[in-house]
Copies of this chain bind each other. A is one copy, B any other.
Amino acid sequence: MVSKSDLLPGTLDLLILQTLKRAPLHGYGIAQSIKRVSDEALTVEEGSLYPGLQRLLLQGWVTAEWKMTETNRRARYYTLTAAGRKQLGLEISKFEQMMAAIGRVLADAEEAG
């Protein structure tokens, strides 16, 4: 089953990095952004998001910094690093290759043996 879940497994990092490409953002905002931009089709649960952000921090793909939000709250803002930007490029191209490959299987009419 293609994910009874809210996300296609294996795509979370990609989505987070892409979201941070535009501007630094806090966790809550990242989740909101992905939900909004995907027209509610993708929901990132907090239990997936925060562990995910920890992974990205460990990899050095983002940095984190506590700041105040526009709504006057403390929040941890994540910023894409140069390495993160590079990684995003890699992941996008891998993802596109996967999509193309799956597309070939789904489109297959099979001529050869």
Contacts and interface: CB of A to CB of B under 8 A. Distances in A.
Interface of A: 1-3, 8-11, 13-15, 18-19, 22, 33-34, 36-39, 41-42, 87, 91-92, 94-95, 97-102, 104-106, 108, 110, 112
21 contacts: A1-B87, A2-B10, A2-B13, A2-B14, A2-B94, A2-B98, A3-B94, A3-B98, A8-B102, A9-B9, A10-B10, A11-B102, A14-B102, A18-B106, A37-B105, A38-B102, A41-B97, A41-B98, A42-B102, A92-B106, A99-B99
Q: How many identical subunits does the complex contain?
A: 2
Contact of A10 (B3, B91, B92, B97): B3
A101 to B, nearest CB: 4
B37 A98 contact: no
Main secondary structure of the interface of A (DSSP, over half): helix
Contact of A101 (B39, B91, B112): B39
A106 to B, nearest CB: 6
Given A15-B102, A37-B108, 13 more contacts: A1-B13, A3-B10, A8-B102, A9-B9, A11-B102, A15-B105, A19-B105, A22-B108, A34-B105, A39-B104, A42-B105, A92-B106, A95-B102
